Amino acid sequence: MTNQQYEQTAAPPTGWTGWVVFAGVILIIGGSLSAIAGLVAVLNDEWVVWTNRGDLYLDVSQWGWVHLIFGIIVVLAGFGLFTGNVLARTIGVIVASISLIVWFLFIPAFPLWAITVIVIDMLVIWALIVHGSEMSEA
């Protein structure tokens, strides 16, 4: 089969590519918020935490660097999803999985919100695993 014949028989991208774009936008927003919080912690650690400083295992500015670097990686992964990048899809699935687990632990405190976020995380994971490769074909 030649390349031209393959291109004619390849299935067109489905509507799930919209969910992959949704996942990318969610990653960009979440990563940006994390990076901003990290930047604030790095620049002014007194503003971020008021009284319970001793409860952290790391200094607030160290947590700031962690959030800043993590946020930048998540933002880049979000933009990478628009091109169908496999590494971006992997990071997106890992971040959504961690979010799902964390929000599962918060069900007793915030049941409605936790279940909402868990469902969104499940949709993001499904879209990235099953239909994420369609973004490179679109």
Query: pLDDT digits over 60-106, tens only?
Result: 788 889 889 988 998 999 999 998 899 999 999 999 899 899 889 88
Has residue 4 been placed in a domain? no
Question: How far is the CA of 103 from the CAs of 7, 21, 107, 111, in angstroms?
Answer: 42, 22, 7, 9
Has residue 28 been placed in a domain? yes
Has residue 60 been placed in a domain? yes
Q: How many domains does the chain have?
A: 1
pTM of the entire structure? 0.74
Has residue 1 been placed in a domain? no
Domain range for residue 59?
A: 20-137
Q: Which two tokens stand for residue 98?
A: 């961690």
5 vs 126, residue with greater confidence:
126
Q: SS3 of 108, please?
A: coil
Has residue 7 been placed in a domain? no
**How many CB atoms lie under 10 A from the CB of residue 101?**
11
Has residue 11 been placed in a domain? no
Question: How far is the CA of 65 from the CAs of 37, 70, 71, in angstroms?
Answer: 10, 8, 10
